[in-house]
Amino acid sequence: MLTIHGVTRSRASRIVWLCHEIGVPFRQVPVIQAYRLPDPFAADAPLNTRSPAFLKLSPAGAVPVIEDDGLVLSESMACTLYLARKYGPPFGPANPAEDGLMMQWTFHAVAGIETDALTLLFLHGSGNTLSGSDAAAVANAAERLVRPLRVVEDHLATHGHLVGGRFTVADINMAEVLRYAQGYHPLIERFPAILAWLADCQSRPAFRKMWQARLAEPE
C-alpha cells in the first residue's frame, strides 16, 4: 500500500488531497517538522524530520516522502505528478501534451510563486504587527507575485481549469501553493478568476477531507 510520510500540516497535504480525489488508499506516518518541536532530539520526541529513522529514508530531512511499490520519492510535487501519471485521467495526464502542461503549471507554482507566497503566509499570516523590515518583505513579495498570478488569472478566466478543461493534479498543485497567499487580501483580491477557482477547488469533498484531517492535528 502507498505510504505517505509527513503530517497533513505540511506539503503532504497535496498528496493526501490527490489520493482522496483518485480514491487510492494510503497509510500515513505522521512525521512532524523538527522546527515545530521544543527539542526534536529529546528521547520522548515524536518521529520528526531530524529523527535518524526518518533521515535514512529522506537524507534531506524534509517531509513529505512517499513509498510506493519499492519506490521512495521525496519532493511533494514529484510525488503528486508521479501518482497522477500512474493513475492517469481524469486527474492525471491523458497524453504527453497534457503531461507537459501539468508539469508547466506545477513548475510555475513552485519556481514562480511558492517562496513569495510563503513569505506572505509566515509574516502577514502570523497576525503580528509587522516591523519595518518584515513589512517591506511582505510588500516586496506581493509585488513580485503580481506577474506570475496574472498569468494564472488570465488562463483561468478563459479556460476554467489549468489543463484539459477539467480538474487535474495541476489544479491541486497550484491551489495548494496559492493557498499560502490567499489570506493576503490586498494581493489576492486583484485576481477574481483565481478567487472563484480556489473556492471551487476547496469546496471539493476530497479537499475537505484532507482539511478536516489537517485541522484535527495539533497546531
Residues at the site binding ligand GSH, with contacts judged by CB under 6 A:
10-11, 33-35, 49, 61-64, 75-77
Phi, psi of 149 (to 5 degrees): -70, -35
Nearer to ligand GSH, 64 or 93 (CB): 64
Least distance in Å: CB of 62 to ligand GSH? 4
How far apart (Å, rounded) are the C-alpha atoms in residues 15 and 34? 20
Residue position matching grid coordinates 476554467: 160
**Shortest reach from residue 144's CB to ligand GSH, in Å:** 19
> Is the Cβ of residue 32 or residue 156 nearer to ligand GSH in the bound state?
32
Cβ distance to ligand GSH smaller for residue 39 or 154 = 39
Q: In angstroms, what is the minimal distance from the CB of 35 to ligand GSH?
A: 6
Q: What is the smallest separation between the CB atom of 189 and ligand GSH, expressed in angstroms? A: 26
Q: Is 5 helix (H, G, I), strand (E, B) or coil?
A: strand
* Residue carrying C-alpha cell 496574472: 150
User: Beta strands 26-29 and 2-5: pairing type?
Assistant: parallel
DSSP string, 144-188: HHHHHHHHHHHHHHHHSSSBTTB--HHHHHHHHHHGGGTT-HHHH
Q: Which is nearer to ligand GSH, 9 or 164 (CB)?
A: 9
- Nearer of residues 15 and 206 to ligand GSH, judged by Cβ: 15
> Which of helix, strand or coil describes residue 97?
helix
Shortest distance in whole angstroms from residue 5 CB to ligand GSH: 10
Q: How many residues does the chain have?
A: 219
